[in-house]
Amino acid sequence: MAVGSRLRHVIESQQFSRSLLEDLFARSDEIKREPHRFMGRLNGQVMAALFYEPSTRTRLSFEAAMMRLGGQTMGTDNAREFSSAAKGETLEDTIRIVSGYADVIVVRHNEEGAAKRAAAVSSVPIINAGDGPGQHPTQALLDLYTIKDELNRIDGIRVALVGDLANGRTVRSLTYLLSKFKEIQVWFVAPPLVAMRDDLKAHLDEHHVPWVETEDLDAVLPEVDVVYMTRIQKERFSDPAAYEAVKGIYRIDTHSLELMRKYAIVMHPLPRVDEIAPEVDGDSRAAYFRQARNGLHVRMALLDRLLA
Amino acid sequence: MKWTATAGRVKGTVMDEDANRRSLTRIAHEIVERNKGANDLVLVGVVRKGDTLAKRLAGHISELEGSMVPVGRINPARHRDDLHIRPVADGRDLSELPDIKDRIVVLVDDVIWHGRTIRAAMDALMELGRPRAIQLAVLVDRGHRELPIRPDYVGKNVATSPDEMIYVCLKEFEDLDQVVVIR
């Protein structure tokens, strides 16, 4: 899929050029500062949300974004159980039908590559809202926007990605985006069982992004500008014993804050379980709730770009 | 507050107190990192808000480095290029500098726009000594430069249109720390 200035589908982070990202973020800034100026931009347009996997946050964020732009939304929460998929309909057929009703389709699916398959048959833009362990590009967009918003730059940023890096699609998508910027340094902090996969390490090598793999979070904390925490995803483990062995291994608490730089930020795609102690919430470096709010503005900018 | 009475409608807040403080601590880190310590540094604020920010920045640097960085202030009024249309504002503090000879001077201001104030501040500075280098730190860069000047350290880049104003509120003057866009 060629993406220059024209944006058709949003499938994976790699498709975004640096200039497209900068345009999107400039628009997100405008929307964040003066949201009322964008009311009614998408009057009369309809967004369909097809969620084959549970999500509250992502779905509400997309729906709020569409409604704040004046558009309307429809969707199904449990597409796998309640839609025709339960009767055996293929994803492709569902997309063909729904793209006749809607102007844009947001899809979350349990299978990697599902969004690409949807885009191949859709007559309207497809937005990937997570495809199994594959990617979650709009989360990566809002993550990168948050870094820029909080630290005023992306070039030269030092980022620690912490937790379940094998199954975490948000860290995969974010890493792809980071590799488009200059002088980025990445620390992968994970137990070996859920370490970052080799394909992404090879991608960073290709783009000359230096990375370090370690299990020692405390040693990394004083070095970085961004600490990106992730949840160890129980639902992606087939062996409960393997999950028990790694859950709760990394936790940001007041001791961690003391090790961190005074301006560095803690991010998390949420929901959190116990990766971040509640007492961290009161510290101004806790950026995860601001990050979640940025999701609305970035998704508004994206829908505006696709549809206006 | 003073600015609501004098300068139109507030369109939005671009920095709150926390963001302001985190920006200054980040800039302090960047200054120390780039200059490999704080030994040769002098911070010089452009009166009057740059002056206040320079003092705060010096506090953050001394916290990092464990030693005090000398702070001065510069009043660029006499060097401005618009003296014929805008008379010098009375009552602002006069320049007061520690020794800047062979030091690295970090000029500090609240907002950079056309770049003309900084040009004037550099001229005023050079009249009083010959620093080894001058670097520039600003809390907000709002673009629209008219001179070839670019800050080395920026708290936040804010895209603005020419008819908007950026107003930096500081506790020392307005009882709160906040950066707003007004039109």
Domains of chain B by start residue, with CATH:
17-161 (3.40.50.2020)
Rounded-to-integer distance, Cα A89 and Cα B44, Å: 70
Let me know whether A230 and A100 are in one domain. Answer: no
Does residue A7 sit within a domain? no
Q: Give the tens place of pLDDT for each residue, A147-161.
A: 999 999 999 999 999
Let me know whether A130 and A212 are in one domain. Answer: no
pLDDT of residue A1: 41
User: Cβ separation of A33 and B14 shorter than 8 Å?
Assistant: yes
Does residue A211 sit within a domain? yes
Does residue A53 sit within a domain? yes
Let me know whether A41 and A177 are in one domain. Answer: no
Does residue A271 sit within a domain? yes
Which ranges in B42-113 belong to alpha helices (H)? 49-65
Q: Give the tens place of pLDDT for each residue, B37-76.
A: 999 999 999 998 999 999 999 999 999 999 899 999 999 9
Let me know whether A153 and A288 are in one domain. Answer: yes
CA-closest candidate to residue A151, choices B61, B178, B31, B23: B23
Starting at the edge strand found earlier in the chain, the sheet holding B104-112 runs B71-74, B41-46, B104-112, B133-141, B153-157
Let me know whether A111 and A141 are in one domain. Answer: no
Give me the domain span that covers residue A38.
13-135+295-307
Looking at this protein, which amino acid is placed at residue A162? V
Does residue A3 sit within a domain? no
Does residue A6 sit within a domain? no
Let me know whether A158 and A64 are in one domain. Answer: no
Among A58, A138, A146, A230, the one annotated catalytic: A58
Let me know whether A150 and A254 are in one domain. Answer: yes
pLDDT of residue A3: 44
Starting at the edge strand found earlier in the chain, the sheet holding A126-131 runs A72-76, A46-51, A104-109, A126-131
Shortest Cα distance from A152 to chain B (angstroms)?
5
- Asked if A261 is an active-site residue, the reply is no
Show residues of chain B in contact with A152, CB under 8 Å.
23, 26, 154-157
What dihedral angle (degrees, nearest 10) is formed by the CA atoms of B52, A283, A182, B58?
Answer: 20
Shortest Cα distance from B85 to chain A (angstroms)?
34
Helix A288-307, helix A137-151: angle, nearest 10 = 120
Shortest Cα distance from A262 to chain B (angstroms)?
6
pLDDT mean across residues, chain A:
92
Show residues of chain B in contact with A263, CB under 8 Å.
22-23, 25-26, 29
Let me know whether A242 and A155 are in one domain. Answer: yes
* ipTM > 0.90 for the complex: no
Among A136, A169, A231, A299, the one annotated catalytic: A136
pLDDT of residue A99: 95
Let me know whether A189 and A238 are in one domain. Answer: yes
Q: Which two tokens stand for residue B117?
A: 């104030």
**Is the pLDDT confidence value at A59 over 60?**
yes
Label the pairing between strands B165-169 and B178-182.
Answer: antiparallel
Rounded-to-integer distance, Cα A56 and Cα A271, Å: 10
Does residue A2 sit within a domain? no
Let me know whether A104 and A159 are in one domain. Answer: no
Of residues A26, A30, A151, nearest to B26 (C-beta): A151
Predicted confidence band of residue A100 (pLDDT cuts 50, 70, 90): very high
User: Cβ separation of A152 and B21 shorter than 8 Å?
Assistant: no
Starting at the edge strand found earlier in the chain, the sheet holding A158-162 runs A211-214, A185-189, A158-162, A226-229, A265-267
Q: In this structure, what DSSP letter does residue A36 have? A: G
Q: Per the structure, how many domains does chain A have?
A: 2
pLDDT of residue B84: 79
User: Cβ separation of B22 and A30 shorter than 8 Å?
Assistant: no
**CATH code of the domain containing A182:** 3.40.50.1370
User: Cβ separation of B155 and A29 shorter than 8 Å?
Assistant: no
Q: List the end-to-end C-alpha distance of chain A, in Å, as a whole number.
A: 21
**What percent of chain A shows pLDDT beyond 70?**
96
Let me know whether A189 and A157 are in one domain. Answer: yes
Does residue A245 sit within a domain? yes
Label the pairing between strands A46-51 and B165-169.
Answer: unpaired
Let me know whether A109 and A217 are in one domain. Answer: no
Q: Which two tokens stand for residue A191?
A: 């137990």
